[in-house]
Amino acid sequence: MDIQLAEPPLYLKLADRLSAAIASGALVPGGRLPSVRQCAREQSVSVSTVVQAYRHLEDARLIEARPKSGYFVAAAPLRKLQEPDTSAPPTESVAVDIGSLSERVMQLAVDPAYISFGAACPAPELFPQERLRRAFSRAALRHRAQLCQYPLVPGEDSLRRAVARRALAMGCTLDPRDIVLTNGCNDAVGLCLQAVTKPGDIVALESPTSFGFLQVLEALHLRALEIPTHPRHGLSVDALSLALSTQPVRAVLAVPTLANPIGASMPLAERKRLAQLLAQHQVPLIEDAIYNDLAERDEHRRAVKSFDTEGLVMLCSSFSKTVAPGLRVGWVEAGRWTTPLRRLKTALSGGHTSITELVMADLLMQRGYEPQLRRLRQVLARHVDEARGLIGESFPRGTRVTDPQGGMMLWVELPPALDSLALFKACLDERIVIAPGTMFSATDRYRHCIRLSVGGPWGDVQRQALRRVGQLAQVLLRARLPLAA
């Protein structure tokens, strides 16, 4: 019997018509679109259908909403910049020793005396500070007795239910009783690693990777096996398959959505392949989903966990990038390792702070949470687009830069003769903070790369500082080229 494909929703048909008009030039960059009500009348559809279509086009960065003015066709896309190549790390695992560089970068990143592109976190003004204050006041008033009691693992029921509800957007149906609340996402990752490894074991992970992951591996005396990673599609499942077949890998640690530092997002088919590969080898995946809510496309918000049928994926996340980094509220659903992980959490740190968990539950259940996420994604997208344009204008010829589908990070591959540590020091002299590429590998690779985070304050000062980073790179490159000849 033939299978009939479902008709696309009406709002997608409308969005496709408008997208085609933009592509053909019928709707020009900067041109104003009909109001929602006018479009509804012209297209003989409901107002809600137009709203959905406009939101879809906003997420695709084809149109933009201007307060009190309406919707406009977005500016023409930037000229295409070359993206970095797929990484090629060593095929052997290494012990981790990343030194103190990352700690120095993070300290300077929050120093008001510096202009920072170092910390991968949105600016404080992009978080819902007033809603947060009111939620704290409500929690302290209604649950003040909690301040005089020890909190217990696994954490407040209301927040675990809210997390389970949010996980539906990642394609995951989680039992709130299996969710353990943690002190941020890295705490969750560390607990997962302790549950499935012992010192000296090999952990496979992306290359380049989060320096926070490398710090955890170093603290737990684990070896890092870096896997080739594409700047758009993320970790190579084929390369990981070879590693699992030839080396005693005990766990895989990955960020399938907006991987730090390169901002890659794995295609949906590759996420499914990854889950199947892990099932074949019976190797656990520790999946960090901290950036999922910042992805522009729905398919990039779907977790590998949603394809897991054997409890091999341990899903970790927090709300540090979307609600409030200062609350330090994270969570983990550890699959078949739920019981041992809960025991580890009890033994090592006990429960988290109940009041902050109640505050977070309150914020997640408010109707304003989704609109806040949309605004945050739109602001960060504008920052990223503008920063890519400045890099194209100001950095040395031959510079390559990623084009992430969401988030706030750009991975910049400079000409090979340029040392990012020298650039880091030159920038510090002018009170500008960047993150050198060597922070993101245990193998001392990526010396000609930097990570730029543009989620912080953004204005003329930051634009000029980014241009200055490019100018300093050009000065250093001119000084090095005679030596390289």
What is the Cα–Cα distance from 336 to 203, expressed in whole angstroms?
A: 19
**4: confidence class by pLDDT, cuts 50, 70, 90:** very low
Instruction: Pull the structure tokens for residue 392.
Output: 């194209």
Q: Of 202, 212, 264, 200, which Cα lies nearest the Cα of 237?
A: 264
Residue 386's Cβ-side half-sphere holds a number of Cα atoms within 13 Å equal to 17
Residue 151 CB coordination number (10 Å): 16
In angstroms, the Cα distances linking 59 to 39, 71, 226, 381, 454 are 19, 13, 32, 9, 19
Q: Between these two residues, 134 and 68, which has the higher pLDDT value? A: 134
Q: What pLDDT, on the 0 to 100 scale, is given for residue 79?
A: 54
- 364 vs 436: CA distance, rounded Å: 35
CA dihedral 417, 423, 425, 431 (to 10 degrees): 170
Q: Does 5 have pLDDT greater than 60?
A: no
Residues of the chain with CATH 3.90.1150.10: 94-125+376-484
Residue 438 gets which letter from DSSP? G
**Region of poorest pLDDT, from 209-213, 266-270, 324-328:** 324-328
Contact assessment for residue 33 and residue 21, using Cβ atoms and an 8 Å cutoff: no
Instruction: Give the model's pLDDT for residue 468.
Output: 97
Q: What is the pLDDT of residue 64?
A: 84
Q: 226 — phi, psi (to 5°)?
A: -85, 135
CB 262 within 8 A of CB 446: no
Say whether pLDDT at 384 is over 90: yes
DSSP sequence for 294-331:
GBSSGGGGS-GGGG-SSS-EEEEEESTTTT-GGG--EE
Report the SS3 class of residue 413. Answer: strand
Residues of the chain with CATH 3.40.640.10: 127-365
- Residues contacting residue 200 through CB under 8 Å, at least 6 positions apart: 221, 222, 223
**CATH topology (fold) of 10-73:** Arc Repressor Mutant, subunit A (1.10.10)
Would you say residue 43 has pLDDT above 70? yes
- Cα separation of 387 and 78, whole Å? 11
Cβ–Cβ < 8 Å for 74, 29: yes
Extended beta strands in 323-440, E state? 330-333, 400-401, 409-413, 432-433, 435-436
Q: Which CATH number fits domain 94-125+376-484: 3.40.50.1100, 3.40.20.10, 3.90.1150.10, 3.30.565.10?
A: 3.90.1150.10
254 pLDDT more than 90:
yes
The model's pTM: 0.86
Q: What is the DSSP letter of 383?
A: H
The two tokens of residue 193 are 């690693």
pLDDT band for 483, please (50, 70, 90 cuts).
very low
pLDDT score recorded for residue 76? 67
CATH code 3.60.21.10 for 127-365: no
